[in-house]
Structure 1
C-alpha cells in the first residue's frame, strides 16, 4: 500500500482528525495489499454514501464519522413550545423585565427540562446573566457564555490588619507589577503551567491554533468587571475551612479563560446556529446534541477552558504571594459560565448551564462578590434542587456600562472609594459601586440556597483601566 498523505485525504474530504486517524489504522491493517488509487476510490465512496458502509466490520467506523457529520449539519427548524417548563425565580422584585423575558423564552425550548433565575440576574445575550438552565443531552454554547469558566479564587493569608498598615505600598506595587489586564495584558515572560501540556490541545484543529494564544495570556485577567484585590476576610464560627473564627488578610481574584474561551464560544455558537435553526428571538440559544461530533468537541473544549481559567488564577496567586513573601493558609474557588452533568434526586442526569451563577450543591464552597467597595461572601451551598443547586455569582448589574459611565464621574468614584477605605489601581467609572445591585439584598434573597461562612472586604483593588 502506498502511503496516504494528509493532503491526499483532504482532497477527498477527509478533514476531520478522527476520520484520518481511523483511515491510517484501518488501511494499514486490512488494506495493505491495495493500491493507493483503489484506497482513495474506496474512501471516496465511503464519504459519499456512508450509510452503505456503516455495518461493514472493517470500514464501518470510518463511515460513522460521516454519518455524524450529516446529522450535525442537518438543517432543522424547532418551534418554541407553547408551555414552559419548571422555572423558579429568586429575588424577582429586583430583576428587570428583560431578564425574565429572556429566561421564559429559554424555558420554551424543547430540550429544556428545568430552569432558575438567580437574584443578581440581569439581561444578557441569549440567556440572561444569572440564568440557570437544565437541558437533556444537549449543550447551548451561548447559555455557557463567551468567557467560559469565569472564576472566583480566594487565598486566605495568616496576616492581620497591621500588614496593610506596614506594607500597603509593597502590595500596591505587587499588584501593578504582577497582574496583567485586558486585550493586550500579558506578562513579559510567559508563565509555565501544566495545563499547557494538556493533550486536549491536540484534539481539534481549533485548539491546536489557540495553544499559542493560551500560552501568551496565561496568568492574565480580562477587562470589565475582572479584578485582583487584597482585602480582609472575617471567618465565622464553624467555617468549613476549619480555620479559627477571626479576621485574616486575603487575596481575591475574578477572571476567566481569556481568548481561549472566547474563540471556543464563537466557533461553536456559529456551528450551533448553522445546524439548529431557531426563531429569531432565541436564535442564539441554538444547541449542540452531545451525541454529535460538534457537541463532543465543544464539551471537550469547554472543560479545557475551565482548566485554563483555574490555571490563570493559580499563576496570579502564586506570583503575588511569592513577591510579597506570603503563603496561603487555605484556598476556596469556583467558576461560573459553564455547563455540568448534574444528577438530580430523581436520578435523572441533566446538562446544567450556569451563566453567571455559582454552583451550590450541598456542602460546596463558593464566593459571591459585591463591588469594588462592598463585601464578598464565602458561602457553602445548601443543595436546593428548585435552584438546580445554584446561587448568585455576584451583586449583578443595576446599570448598563453606558449608563454607569453617563451617571458617574471619576471624582465621584474616587470619593466613594475614599469613604469606603479602598484604593483603586486602574478601573473605570463603568464599574463603580452604584452600577451594581445591593449585595445584601441579593444575599437575603438566596438565604435558602447558601449559608455564609465568611465576609470579605476589599482594601486594594486592581482592575483594567478601560
Structure 2
C-alpha cells in the first residue's frame, strides 16, 4: 500500500479532474474513494480503482466557435426574394458548421431553409467525421429520381397507364392490390436492429409501389437529344424510411446527451465506429435498396400497362442521403452526388428536375470542389408554401395552373390543384441552370421536355380527413 501524506479527502473537484461528470453516482464514488483514503491509499491508486469499477464517461464535446468551419456558397442573388432566402440559408449554415463533427459544408443554387436556425437547409451538404446525422438526411430518407427510356411510346398513353398503376397519398396499398416485395430484402430487414420491428416490416410491404404526397411526382416527357419518350418518378423511402429515421433520431439523441449536450437535437449524431453506427449505416443501405425497388416497380408496371415494346436505359439517383467518401460521411439534404462511383450502381448520369413546366435535366457530375462533389437536386424555393398562397391574391389555383402550364397535361392526384407545387412557387429554373453552369457543378447532357405529369399535391393526412368527417 502506498502512503500519501496528504490526508485531505477526495472531493468532487477530484472526480471532475478524473473525467467524472456530476450526477447521481457522485455520492457513491465519493464514499468509495474516501473509504480507500481512510485506509491510506494515495490519490493515484484511488483513481485507478474507480476507473476499473466505474469507467468515466468520455469528455463532452463543445460546439465550435461561429465561423471556425467555413462553407462554400454556390448560389447567386438575382432578386430581392433570393437575397432574403440566401440570408436565411447563410445564417442556418453558419450555425450548422458549429456542430463538432462537421469538417466542411456547401450550399447549392437551389438552397432554402428547412427548419429552425442550425438545421441543414434544402440544397445543403455537410461532411462529418465518424458521425452519421439522421436529421441531416431527414425523414424522407433516400428521396430520389428514376428515369426509363420508353422509346417511341405515346406520351399520353404512358401517362394514362402510369396513373392507373401508381399510388399517391398517405398510407399504403390495400390487401389484394399490393406490389411484391422481395422476401430476401425483408429477411435483411429482420436481421437489422433498426429495421426489425413490425411497423417497418409491414410498411415495407404495404408501401411498395407508392409515391407519397407533397412534391413527389410522376413525369412524362421527350428527350431533346433523341426524341424518345421517358418517364421520371420522384419519391423517397416512404413508411420504412420514416420508421428508420425516427429510430435513428432516438439513438442519436442518447449519444447527444452523453457526448455533446450543447448540440441542437436536430444535429445529434450516431458515432460511425460504434455498433449502433455500423447497424445504422447498414440500415441506410437496405432502405436504399427498398427505395430503388419501389421506383423499379412503378416503372415496370407502367411499361406493362402501356404495352411498351421498346424499353431503353433506366437509371436513378438519390438526393436525400448519406454518402461515405474516403473517411468522411457526406450528408446531402436535397443535393445530388456528382462524382464517379458514388455508389456501385452509379452510371455517371444523374437527374435534376426543375418544375412541372420545365425539362428534367440529365447531367454528368463534375465533382466540383466548391460543391464538395455535389450538384443541385432541383429548383428549390425562395419562400414558403404559405407565402406563395398569400401572394396569389384573388387568383385561383385553377387559373394559375392554366396560365403556368399551357399545353401540358398536368394532373393532381389529390383532386384539387395544389398551388404550392406550381412553377411560380419555385425558383426561376433558368437562373438555377445558369448557376449550375457558372459554378461548374455539372455538365448538362440532355433535357427531357415535359408532356405532362401526375403531382401528388398537398394531401391531408388521414386524421385530418377523419376530423373533417366528424364535423
Q: Which runs of 5+ in 1 are unaligned?
A: 1-48, 54-66, 236-245, 344-348
1:322 alignment partner in structure 2: 304
Q: Is the 8 A contact 1:370 1:376 kept in 2?
A: yes
User: Which secondary structure state, in structure 1, belongs to the residue aligned with residue 355 of structure 2?
Assistant: coil
| Structure 1 pair 138–190 and aligned structure 2 pair: CA distance change class (3 A) | same
Q: Which runs of 5+ in 2 are unaligned?
A: 1-48, 341-346, 460-471
1:200 alignment partner in structure 2: 188
1:78 alignment partner in structure 2: 62
Cα deviations by residue, 1:38-87 (Å, 9 ceiling, x for unpaired): xxxxxxxxxxx9x979xxxxxxxxxxxxx9xx97xx79453233443241
**1:432 paired to 2:422:** yes
2:348 alignment partner in structure 1: 364
Partner residue of 1:308 out of 259, 267, 290: 290
Pairing 1:39-438 to 2, within 5 Å after superposition:
76=60, 78-93=62-77, 94=82, 95-125=85-115, 126-159=119-152, 163-164=154-155, 168=156, 170-186=157-173, 188-194=176-182, 197-209=185-197, 210-235=200-225, 246-277=226-257, 282-326=264-308, 327-343=310-326, 349-362=327-340, 364-408=348-392, 409-426=396-413, 428-438=418-428
CA distance in 1: counterparts of 2:66 and 2:401, whole angstroms: 50
The alpha carbon displacement at 1:350 in A equals 1.0
Cα deviations by residue, 1:159-201 (Å, 9 ceiling, x for unpaired): 16xx24xxx2x44432332010121342642212437535431
The alpha carbon displacement at 1:437 in A equals 0.5
| Structure 1 pair 186–399 and aligned structure 2 pair: CA distance change class (3 A) | farther
User: Which secondary structure state, in structure 2, belongs to the residue aligned with residue 208 of structure 1?
Assistant: coil
Partner residue of 2:450 out of 430, 442, 458: 458
Pairing 1:437-448 to 2, within 5 Å after superposition:
437-447=427-437, 448=440
User: Which secondary structure state, in structure 1, belongs to the residue aligned with residue 383 of structure 2?
Assistant: coil
CA distance in 2: counterparts of 1:376 and 1:424, whole angstroms: 17
User: Which secondary structure state, in structure 1, belongs to the residue aligned with residue 313 of structure 2?
Assistant: strand
User: Which secondary structure state, in structure 2, belongs to the residue aligned with residue 419 of structure 1?
Assistant: coil
Shifted more, 139-148 versus 183-192: the winner is: 183-192
| Structure 1 pair 383–436 and aligned structure 2 pair: CA distance change class (3 A) | same
User: Which secondary structure state, in structure 2, belongs to the residue aligned with residue 124 of structure 1?
Assistant: coil
CA distance in 2: counterparts of 1:77 and 1:111, whole angstroms: 9
CA distance in 2: counterparts of 1:414 and 1:353, whole angstroms: 35
| Structure 1 pair 361–223 and aligned structure 2 pair: CA distance change class (3 A) | same
User: Which secondary structure state, in structure 2, belongs to the residue aligned with residue 226 of structure 1?
Assistant: strand
Cα deviations by residue, 1:261-319 (Å, 9 ceiling, x for unpaired): 11111221122123214577833111111112222222111111111111110001000
Q: How many residues align?
A: 380
More helix by share: 1
Q: Is the 8 A contact 2:74 2:107 kept in 1?
A: yes
CA distance in 2: counterparts of 1:193 and 1:367, whole angstroms: 26
CA distance in 2: counterparts of 1:279 and 1:397, whole angstroms: 32
TM-score by length of 2: 0.75
CA distance in 1: counterparts of 2:296 and 2:408, whole angstroms: 28
Instruction: Work out which of the two has the higher radius of gyration on C-alpha atoms and give 1 or 2.
Output: 2
| Structure 1 pair 76–156 and aligned structure 2 pair: CA distance change class (3 A) | same
User: Which secondary structure state, in structure 1, belongs to the residue aligned with residue 367 of structure 2?
Assistant: coil
TM-score by length of 1: 0.76
| Structure 1 pair 207–459 and aligned structure 2 pair: CA distance change class (3 A) | same
Q: Is the 8 A contact 1:106 1:282 kept in 2?
A: no
Shifted more, 375-384 versus 86-95: the winner is: 86-95
Q: Is the 8 A contact 1:231 1:457 kept in 2?
A: yes
Shifted more, 369-378 versus 101-110: the winner is: 101-110
